[in-house]
Structure 1
Amino acid sequence: MTEIPPPDSLTDILTSLRDRVMGVSESVLSTVDGLLVHADVDTVHPESVAALAAATLGVGRRMADTAGVGALREVVARCGSGHVIVVAVGDRALLTVKGDAGLDLAAFQRESPAAVERLSRVLAADVAH
């Protein structure tokens, strides 16, 4: 009988994204209402990032609704020395990524959908148990 591999851990998924996309330095997974779920961070305060990500999502969704451009997928903030990206993970979670000035946005756009899908599966499996 073939053994089914265990689902990815949240740590593995966040580490993989950091390893696969040049410039990704830290990431925080949170609920849409701002509660911390998991973090891969060195310098940021993850609880603060989780709360601000929820606020960012709220403003971004409102902007998308007002502009009539469909459902919000992500918000990208380009800053003086890097980037902050907030990505919706289904309807109940958010992935916030901090990147340095050399963040490869094209690679992030390619790699993030798979990471979001993996995160969604792990979170759904956790809710089911």
Structure 2
Amino acid sequence: MPEIHQPEPLVEVLTALREGVMGVSETVVSTVDGLLVAADVDAVHAESIAALSAATHSLALRMAHEAGGTGLRDVTTRSADRHVVVQAINDRALLTILGDDGLDLNRLQHDTHTTLEHLAKILAGDTPR
């Protein structure tokens, strides 16, 4: 498999999220079109997660619209032993968080606001401090 060049500041933010929130196992940043931007993964195929995240986001956005909602903050899928959270970074990028059944959802919800801000600044060309 060819090595993918990933922007180091993005990977640093993803790694900090994984290390800071119990249960986060892998993270992926992708475009809303499903293209991989950066990833901190071990056991999943990052390109597949990017593509599926875009499809999930698109479907959830449509559902929110049909239900009378505006915008979409996140989509959470829970299985017996995994969590998948897809969050909009901005109108062009997504953060997907994969976690085990011990994922601290309260801490994740608290910490992702800052993470999303950092990722948005990096993607816009402003490296956060």
Q: Same fold (TM over 0.5)?
A: yes
Match of 2:5 in 1: none
Alignment correspondent of 1:16:
16
Q: Distance in 1 between matches of 2:16 and 2:41?
A: 14
Count matched residues: 119
Partner residue in 2 for 1:3: none
2:19 is the alignment partner of 1:35: no
1:124 aligned partner:
124
Task: Give the superposition deviation at 1:20.
Answer: 1.2
Secondary structure, aligned partner of 1:25: strand
Deviation string, structure 1 residues 55-99 (Cα, Å, up to 9, x no partner): 001000001000012211000001111100000010010001100
What's 1:84 paired with?
84
Q: Given the two structures, how large is their TM-score scaled by the length of structure 2?
A: 0.89
Q: What are the ranges of 5 or more consecutive residues in structure 1 without an aligned counterpart? A: 1-7
1:76 aligns to what SS in structure 2? strand
Local SS of the residue matching 1:60: helix
Greater Rg over alpha carbons, structure = 1
Structure 1: 4+ residue segments shifted above 6 A? none
Which amino acid in the other structure matches residue 68 of structure 1? G
Structure 2: 5+ residue runs without aligned partners? Answer: 1-7
Partner in structure 1 of residue 4 of structure 2: none
Q: What is the identity percentage for the equivalent residue pairs of Structure 1 and Structure 2? A: 55
Task: Please give the alpha-carbon distance, in whole angstroms, between the structure 2 residues aligned to 1:11 and 1:59.
Answer: 27
Normalising by structure 1, what TM-score? 0.89
Query: What is the root-mean-square deviation in Å for CA atoms of aligned residues?
Result: 1.1
